[in-house]
Chains A and B, each alone.
Chain A
Amino acid sequence: MITGAEAIVRCLENEGVEIIFGYPGATIAPLYDKLSKSNIRHILVRHEQHAGHEASGYARIKKKPGVCMTTSGPGATNLITALATAYMDSVPLVAITGQVSSELLGRDVFQEADITGAAEPFTKYSYLVKNAEDLPRIIKEAFHIASTGRPGPVLIDIPVNVQQQRFDFAFAGEVNLRGYKPTIKGHTGQIKRVCKAINNAERPVICVGGGIFAADGQGELQRFAEMLNIPVVSTMMGIGAVPTQHSLNMGMLGMHGKSIANQAITDSDLLIIVGARVSDRAVLLPANVGKNTKIVHIDIDPTEIGKNLSTLIPVVGDAKEILIQIMEAEPDRKSEDWTDLLKAKKDKLELDYAPRRSGINPKAFVNLLSKSLPDDHIYCADVGQNQIWSAANCEVRTGRFLTSGGMGTMGYSLPAAIGAKIADPEKTVVAVCGDGSFQMHMMELATICQHGVDVKIVVMKNNKLGLVKEIQKKSYKNNECAVDLTGSPDLVSIARAYGIPGQRIDSMDSADGAIAEMLSCKCAYLLECVVDENESSI
């Protein structure tokens, strides 16, 4: 006989869990007690939301579910934004929350929150465990559901008495869920139709989204694009699926994307969407696409197909598998003019990298920064103008670009960077944020120090909530309100107070030196970059 808490630890070990990001409390205390005796490393965060984001950054790099753990009530509700963020970006998480004793459920006792109910719209699945004997099965199912099909967060809410309950432990058998059988292989009939459409297309474009990373199919995508000489555009979540400097990569599409990418979609006669939701930010006027464009949509989630764009050829399954299937069917495209035309246009694009009268040029800076980083660096962009500067100008070669694409959660970059660095300590990891987003995650500087996490932090400081300011300028007659960040601290001093070195630069002249110093530092580093408040995002 062992306790529920011991059983949870055994099951987590059995799932290969090495790291848990968490924050303790009364109702999760039995589990913490047993976890401390395990080899699983616990990373104590400074806010529960960041436990979720760190697990997300970890999952995206480690390619397996990230695990986070909090107590009941406020601990659990603080996690919700992270669950929603992971849900929108299809990141596999297993979130464990403590809960009040099961006989007290529904009585509004201290630190009780109906977290399975509250998180219902933001989780792929959730469990409220009523009996410890169910734990082995539930934990196995949770990892299975989180990591297969379209990945996503799974919540396991475990009352404190269930953690203490003693029972005869046995590992669960194979997972068999009648209502959950994701399709992996593409339908062969549909593959044939795709090949025919490719063969007949004069102006095909591939639009790649985050699904390609979930399928781990970047290599196949690049091979597919090269084999058929088809230009590639990406959503924000798809950045880096094909290296940003690849000749076929036309950049990010959408509201904040490259005009050439948007133009390519508008002019195309065949759009091959791979693992993308084509949300409002990606395709501004979905009704206009498709009039003259045939759409092939490859997605593991059949509900995404036809949701935002009417699709001619849906292919449900794993993006990597389907790309392999298509290549094996040997499509044969003859026309080359289209790709050459786009390439020529791309070469003529003028980049706005000129020095500024005040502050740095953030576009030039992120470009320079990413060029200075090793090829396989991990670049975490926050939300706001900094995200758009980064998405449009940073070079992703063999590494990854991590950002909160769907939810647009401010304060994601630093915790995601921490998770990514812990997942792969060999990689250089940078978090690029604004001064608004930095102040939503700056408590995690303590997590960095406590656990010796070497992440580089770049803060674009303009003392404004720049993106909102831009919206107010454009759509609200320049009525600037609630976007002034006066009162913010000196960020370099804040970092120093944590023992993190850093410096401030206010001109591109010092950029090279500052980046070199930051990268040569063997520990975390904060670089504050002064940006003019009127700098536009595009």
Chain B
Amino acid sequence: MKHVLSALVNNSPGVTSRVSGLFRRRGYNIDSFIGSSTEDERFSRLTIVVRGDDIVIAQVMSQMEKLEDVIAIEDIKPEAMISKVLLFMKVKADVNDRVGIIVVANACNARVIEMSKDYLILEALETEERISEMIEIFKPYGIIELVKTGVVAMKR
């Protein structure tokens, strides 16, 4: 089961390495790991998606809390969460496919941010599930390259 952990940590060198080292050392499975600055420059926010049953997650939480640099950590429940993933996707699009792709992209709530004679670059900001579906939808056209962020989440 996936859990989204949101941790407020000290904004100092080596913190990311300590947290990711903990996950590696203890063998926890990470789906995604995002770090960013916050409204307070002393702190950073880590949003980590981890897989595991409740016992494992409880262990992860207490191991994280034990780190001197971790100020607060929360397991955000899906019902109390807004979460998004940002996707950029370069899709093959020659003259024949172009219009079709744009129509599908609109239906998926994705925007065309660049266009050339051979390909389109799409941008989408959606939930993780919607992003995964979208990738499947565009596969038949030929995905040249894609890049996406991990989950960023906030408690309502």
> A residues within 8 Å of B by Cβ?
105-106, 114, 117
Contacts and interface: CB of A to CB of B under 8 A. Distances in A.
Interface string B1-36: 000000000000000000001001111100000000
Interface in B64-83: none
Residue of B24, B25, B28 with highest tally of chain A CB at under 10 A = B25
A105 B27 contact: yes
A114 B25 CA distance: 6
B24 A117 contact: yes
Contacts of A114: 24-25
A117 B25 CA distance: 7
Residue of A106, A114, A117 with highest tally of chain B CB at under 10 A = A106
9 contacts: A105-B26, A105-B27, A106-B25, A106-B26, A106-B27, A114-B24, A114-B25, A117-B21, A117-B24
Interface residues of B, number: 6
Nearest to A130: B27
Contacts of A106: 25-28
Contacts of B27: 105-106
B59 to A, nearest CB: 9
Nearest to A116: B24
A105 B27 CA distance: 7
A117 B27 CA distance: 12
Nearest to B26: A106
A105 B25 CA distance: 8
A105 B21 CA distance: 14
Nearest to A104: B27
Contacts of B25: 106, 114, 117
Nearest to B63: A106
B23 to A, nearest CB: 9
Contacts of B28: 106
Nearest to B25: A114
A335 B93 CA distance: 65
A437 B61 CA distance: 46
B48 to A, nearest CB: 16
B58 to A, nearest CB: 14
B27 to A, nearest CB: 4
A106 B21 CA distance: 11
A269 B114 CA distance: 52
Nearest to B28: A106
A106 B28 CA distance: 9
A460 to B, nearest CB: 41
A303 to B, nearest CB: 19
Nearest to A120: B21
Nearest to B27: A106
The 4 closest A-B pairs by CB, nearest first: A106-B26, A114-B25, A106-B27, A105-B27
A106 B26 CA distance: 4
A114 B27 CA distance: 11
Given A105-B26, A114-B25, A117-B25, 6 more contacts: A105-B27, A106-B25, A106-B26, A114-B24, A117-B21, A117-B24
Interface in B108-128: none
Contacts of B21: 117
Contacts of A105: 26-27
A114 B28 CA distance: 14
Interface string B21-58: 10011111000000000000000000000000000000
A114 B26 CA distance: 9
A410 to B, nearest CB: 29
Nearest to A112: B25
A76 to B, nearest CB: 14
A73 to B, nearest CB: 14
A424 to B, nearest CB: 40
Contacts of B26: 105-106
A293 B24 CA distance: 47
A157 to B, nearest CB: 12
A168 to B, nearest CB: 26
B89 to A, nearest CB: 23
B149 to A, nearest CB: 23
Contacts of B24: 114, 117
A529 to B, nearest CB: 46
A120 to B, nearest CB: 9
Nearest to B24: A117
A105 B26 CA distance: 6
A184 to B, nearest CB: 31
A271 to B, nearest CB: 34
A32 B24 CA distance: 28
